Amino acid sequence: MQIQRQADGSVLLDMTQQQARKFAKTVIENAEDAQMALLNFAYLLNEAHYDGVNEFRQPPHAWESGAASPSPKSAT
């Protein structure tokens, strides 16, 4: 993870998804000791991770009569 302070006073964080997940998990596990802004940031990291791995795309016209059902992936 890289942390850079910008000229305008903001902070730029550069991290991989794995680093973000580990950071969020650590913050959430210690929520009783964390400030609200830090908890919100951890929850946003989790949300970004789940959005990033969500590959579902609604087929066009899926709810019209006669629409073909997509074949499910093999269950694991």
Model pLDDT for residues 43-74, shown as the tens digit of each residue: 999 888 887 777 777 777 778 887 776 666 65
Residue type, 50: Y
On whether the pTM is more than 0.75, the answer is no
State the DSSP code for 31. G
d(CA 7, CA 70): 51
Distance CA 2, CA 31 (A): 23
> What are the residues facing 27 on neighbouring strands?
none
Q: According to the model, what pLDDT value does residue 36 have?
A: 94
* 40 pLDDT more than 90: yes
The pLDDT value given to residue 19 = 92
